[in-house]
Structure 1
Amino acid sequence: MNIDAGERVRWLPRDQASSLALPGNDLWIFDGRLVQFNIFDGLGQWIRTDFDDDPDVAKFCVSSIESVWERAVPHRDFTV
């Protein structure tokens, strides 16, 4: 449904991410300057959302996501 709506989805197997510096939590980046961290417990249950507008944190997160995106496989080409 998301792809049909125009979302670009890519997949990166964990074994191909070992050499990447990645944030420790799920996140969304808004306008390249505000980061929303989504905090989950060990069972995958949402605990809370933290926001961070520190320019260094945003820069790190943007850079990390760009690195993942470059290595990741488009959804239509991904096979398990």
Structure 2
Amino acid sequence: MVDITIGEAVSRGVEVRRARIVSEPLSRYSRWLWECTAQVNLAAGEQVRWLPRHMTAGLVTPPSDFWVFDSAVLVWNHFNGDGEWADNEVTTDHALISQCSAAFAAVWERAVDHGDYRPS
């Protein structure tokens, strides 16, 4: 497995984007992500946007958290019933990658930039 930081990827010209669909009011964990983690990621060059769940009407998104790398690899993140990370699953299935990429693009377009998002 290759371990590359956000900063290293960005320094090579890679665009790193994260979109979070969140329920409002934010849970303690989501608020922590907004207050702390996003600041670390932004400082490294990642772009972060937030989409309140009430603004998702009409969007079709996968039910699981995922990452798409270079339009070639899809990683599903699986969580247990307590919300703790349990495992991941990697695929190179082009159809799934295309579906997830399209879903991400739709969420990204509608989501609010981290600098402008004010959670309730």
TM-score interval for Structure 1 and Structure 2 normalised by the shorter chain? over 0.9
Q: Following TM superposition, where does structure 1 have runs of at least 4 consecutive aligned residues deviating by more than 2 angstroms?
A: none
Q: Distance in 2 between matches of 1:15 and 1:60?
A: 22
Larger Rg: 2
Q: Distance in 1 between matches of 2:110 and 2:82?
A: 28
Structure showing the higher helix proportion among its residues = 2
**% of aligned pairs identical?**
39
Deviation at 1:41, TM superposition (A): 1.1
**Structure 1: runs of 5 or more not aligned:** none
Q: Secondary structure at the match of 1:9?
A: strand
Q: Distance in 1 between matches of 2:88 and 2:55?
A: 28
1:21 correspondence with 2:57: no
Q: Distance in 1 between matches of 2:72 and 2:96?
A: 9
**Over the residues paired in the alignment, what is the CA RMSD in angstroms?**
0.9
5 Å-filtered alignment, 1:1-80, equals: 1-80=40-119
Q: TM-score normalised to the size of structure 1? A: 0.94
**Structure 2: runs of 5 or more not aligned:** 1-39
